Homo-oligomer: A and B are copies of this chain.
Amino acid sequence: MASGSEGDAVLDANDRFYRAFESLDMDRMAAVWQQDASARCVHPGWPMLAGWEQVGASWERIFDNAAMMQFSITDAEVSIEGAFAWVTCTENLTTVVDARVNEARVQTTNLFHKIDGLWLLVHHHGSPVM
């Protein structure tokens, strides 16, 4: 597992992703991603989305349907190899949809690329914990 300032920079990028998610703000979400053909995303229970066009559209759809989302991230671990990093973590998620509160746990792998000094999310894989 990576430690030190580079590890912190990756965890900061991971945290920015979840704060963008909570904000339900598409511009903030887009800013944390590598917005090109290499972007990949698996939402819990979904097939894989490939390329920023599909990935970005999925976030728009999710944001349109969520009234409130709050993430508490636990067990975050980071590994770094050159300009590539991966984070595993558990998302402890509280959502409000149609005035109903739901609690869920999602097991997640997030992959990041460092581009021009910035760690950008290139693949998000979240899966339901049953």
Chain A residues proximal to chain B, CB less than 8 Å? 1, 38, 40, 42, 44-48, 75, 79, 81-84, 86, 88, 90, 105, 107, 109, 111, 113, 123, 125-130
Contacts and interface: CB of A to CB of B under 8 A. Distances in A.
Nearest to A48: B107
A88 B123 contact: yes
A25 B44 CA distance: 30
Contact of A130 (B40, B45, B88, B109): B45
Nearest to A86: B111
Contact of A40 (B46, B88, B127): B88
Contact of A45 (B1, B38, B123, B127): B127
Nearest to A130: B45
B86 A83 contact: no
Most B CB contacts (10 A, CB to CB) among A40, A83, A107, A130 go to A107
